[in-house]
Amino acid sequence: MKKRQKNLRGVDLNLLTVFEAIVEHRQLSAAGAHLGLSQPAMSAALQRLRIMLGDELFIRTKYGMEPTSKAEDWYEMIVPVLDQLRNGFSKQDENPENSIRVFQIIAGDYFEKVFLTPLLTRLAEYAPNVSVSISPLSNDGIPQDFRFGKHDFAMYRVLPPGKGIEHEMIGSEELVVISRKNHPRILAALTSDQFQKEKHVVMESPRHAHYGLNTLVQATPLKRTIIATVTSFGAAALLVESTDALCTVPKGLVPFLTSRFRLDVHAFPGTLTPINRLLMWPSVLAKDPMHHWFKEQLLTVVRSAESTM
């Protein structure tokens, strides 16, 4: 048996969850509300943490409680351990039929339009009490704490740097161009000259502009005159249906968009590298039986949709 280096009898392990909550909420009151503790109790726990670790841990700023560099290092070390403990205390015989899990997925508008409905249909049949919560990508794509199990899955085209994330390639995507039905100037195949002369609607959140799909279009020699930037493909399609503007969208969205809007679809008039589609999950959750089961349902849904694209 491995010899333990430190006796933990004198360490209050409840302080670990207090520390985790303060890092994630950045305010004592919000962290206390999350844990069901009063602000005086949180203040006392923080003081004990500071003594135990010999560090200030948090600095008060106008933005909240900012962790010190030692606190950030410690957070990265303890969160995987806490998540493993949570998984260990959860029911190992949990099965889909009686599970009440809420699976957190980081994904964009594409996932909601193409995969969410068939996923929920499948869950209704095999796991009627399981639900799904979709979170948008952060400013930098996949957030840094994803590897700690704060979310169950993410779908994106680029792996984030660092360790602790597993993934599977689940296909690739092409871009196409949509226009309104019977566009007066596009009667046959869309040419690069026509593409550049027409006005365009762009689907892209401004905070995601540096890694969104439109960076692929911008990398081509083709130039666009943009008349509107919107935050969903549905809004983009509505504008395209009602005007002469064009919009470049993932090909996988075509069935959804053409079933709801009067649109024509054209091949993109240039060469683009196919877009990888990756499903990612934190390594700390890989041994969770329900997590593995849900992953298989996700993969089944994605592969089924892929075969019809």
Give me 256's structure tokens. Answer: 């959804």
Task: Give per-residue pLDDT as tens, 29-83.
Answer: 888 888 888 888 888 889 988 888 888 999 988 878 888 888 888 888 887 777 7
- Residue 35 is part of which domain span? 14-89
Task: Give per-residue pLDDT as tens, 76-102.
Answer: 888 777 776 766 655 545 789 988 899
Query: Can you tell me the distance from the alpha carbon of 250 to that of 76, in angstroms, rounded to the nearest whole number?
Result: 36
User: What pLDDT does residue 276 have?
Assistant: 82
Q: Are residues 201 and 259 in the same domain?
A: yes
User: What pLDDT does residue 26 have?
Assistant: 86
Q: Is residue 273 domain-resident?
A: no
Q: What CATH number does the domain containing 141 carry?
A: 3.40.190.10
**For the chain, how many structural domains are there in total?**
3
Q: Are residues 260 and 288 in the same domain?
A: no
Helix (H) or strand (E) holding 263: strand 263-267
**Residue-wise DSSP of 146-166:** GGGTSSSEEEESSPPSSSSEE
CA dihedral sign of residues 258, 263, 269, 270: negative
Task: Give the closest residue to 237 by CA, choosing from 223, 255, 222, 224.
Answer: 255
Q: Are residues 118 and 44 in the same domain?
A: no
Helix (H) or strand (E) holding 170: strand 165-173
132 compared with 14, residue with greater pLDDT: 132
Residue with tokens 């089944």: 300
Q: Is residue 67 domain-resident?
A: yes
Say yes or no to pLDDT of 240 above 70: yes
Torsion angle of the four alpha carbons 205, 210, 212, 213, in this order, in degrees rounded to the nearest 10: 130
First to last CA, the chain: 55
Phi-psi region of 115 (alpha: psi -120 to 50; beta: other; left: phi over 0): alpha
Task: Give per-residue pLDDT as tens, 275-291.
Answer: 788 899 988 888 788 99
Task: Give per-residue pLDDT as tens, 249-277.
Answer: 988 899 999 999 999 999 999 887 777 88
Q: Are residues 80 and 123 in the same domain?
A: no
Give me 287's structure tokens. Answer: 């041994």
User: What pLDDT does residue 208 have?
Assistant: 45
